[in-house]
Structures are given as C-alpha cells and as structure tokens.
Amino acid sequence: MTQPTTPPPALVDSHCHLDFPDFDQDRGDMIARARAAGVTRMVTICTKLRSEPAVRAIAEAHDGVFYAAGTHPMSVASEPMATTDELISLAAHPKFVGIGETGLDYHYTAESAEAQKTSLRIHIDAARQTGLPLIIHARDADDDMAEILSSEHRGGGAFSCVMHCFSSSAALAHSALDLGFYLSMSGIAAFPRSTNLREIFAAAPLDRILVETDSPYLAPPPHRGRRNEPGHVVHTAAVGASIFGLSESDFAKQTCANFDRLFSKACV
C-alpha cells in the first residue's frame, strides 16, 4: 500500500519581485512551483511607483500573492519623489500590505544620500499613518540607517518594520531589534562564507525572523548563480532551521507566525 505523501511545511516568501522581466516567460508556472514547494504566500515588491499598476495586477491575478510599493533608494535620484498621501492612497487596496521597499544604499548611489534620507522619512510617515510595516533596504549606510530609524520611531511615533534581506552589521541588527523590528533572512544567509551573518541571526529572537528570496536575485545553494524564484525559499528556511536548532517544520511554523504578526493584512 502506498503511503500518503507528507506535504511540505507552509512557508511565506516575504519579499520577491514577480514583476521583473526575468519572470515574463513563465510567471504562472513559477508561482505554481512555489506553491508545490509549500510557499503559500508571497509579497511582491514594487520598487518604482510608476510600476505599481503592473505589480498590483500580478497580486490581483494570483491567490496568496500580496504586494507592497515604494521607491527603492537606488532609484530615488531618477524617479519622482513619493509623497505620503500617494503611499496612503495605494495602501487602501486590499492586497497592499507594506510600505517600501525604501531605505538607504550608499554602495552604488551615495551621491543621492540626502534625497534618499528624505524619501525614507516620507515612507516612514506613510507606514506610521497606515499601520503597515515598513520594508527597509540597507547597504553600506548602517550609521545613518540606525540614527533615522531610531529618531523617527522614538521621536516621531512608533511604526513596524522589517530589515529586508538583512546582511548588515551586528550593530544595525541590534538597533533594529531594540526597536521591535524584524530581520529577514535571504539566500545570502545560506552562502558558505556567510558565517558572521548566520551568527547575527542566531543571536536574534526567533519570533523576529522572516524568510525571503528577493528573487530573481540571491538564489541560495543549490541554485546559486542562477535565477532565484519564490520556491527556493525552502533552502534558506532549511538553513534557518539549522541556525536555530529546529526542525524545518517548526521553523516554518514560527516564521509564518512572525509574518502574520507583522504583515497582518496578508493573513488568509
């Protein structure tokens, strides 16, 4: 007698970019593969507000796919500055679940640092007013990021936040966690040389961890170097389970619970 197959544990890909042209040829099949792997929900991220209609259409077309929108810090110099009212208006959509991604990136675009700071504060204000989580991109800007998040949260009013694709310093992790924020684990945490990053995650509270792909980027082993997709979050989650000494099922349950707490609008 054939034994019933145990379904994979349910997971959430908390950050992906399903509108990117990398998926134009097989978007539906890719989403189906993710579901078969146990990925029951995905948040697809709009990085330029002029792309919001296309990102929204993907979310509307697929059960379990939600979306967020903002202006990526690397695009601030080339895109119109978002307004708080504009972001609040977008947030009225039932599948719009987060503000961003926004943040600071001084690795490639340090020349637009002041504009990035202005944009970040606008997104923070929208997150504060809507009650939706802020989605932060941070690269080579740890000191400014910690200062702005702390001063805005403690001085301007509380808001919720996830440090997406976290790969910054332990100091920034501590600053974010002290504010009650979440750290999201991407495929970078599964790279063999990411020992220090895994140690940062291991020191964080388990109830403040999310998992993501950031697809089509940063595919974890065994797919490293190829296009990433939401179904590959299972490999990052397996590494996360190992970091915390949990079964893959228990880690999946915990990260789903964490996601539900932070992205409460995406609960289904």
Binding-site residues for a divalent metal cation sit at: 15, 17, 101, 137, 164, 214
Q: Give 209's strand partners.
A: 183
Given phi > 0 = left and psi -120 to 50 = alpha, else beta, which region is 100?
A: left
54 close to 47: Cβ distance less than 8 angstroms? no
**Strand 134-139 relative to strand 11-16, pairing:** unpaired
* Residues of the binding site: 15, 17, 101, 137, 164, 214
* CA pair distance 25, 3, nearest whole angstrom: 36
Burial class (CB in 10 A: 0-12, 13-18, 19+), 129: middle
d(CA 187, CA 57): 27
Kind and range of the H or E element at 93? none
- Rg of the chain, C-alpha, whole Å: 17
- What are residue 46's DSSP bridge partners? 69
Question: Degrees (nearest 5) of the Cα angle 93, 24, 107?
Answer: 80
Q: Residues 88, 65: contact at Cβ < 8 Å?
A: no
73 class by beta-carbon count within 10 Å (0-12 exposed, 13-18 middle, 19+ buried): buried
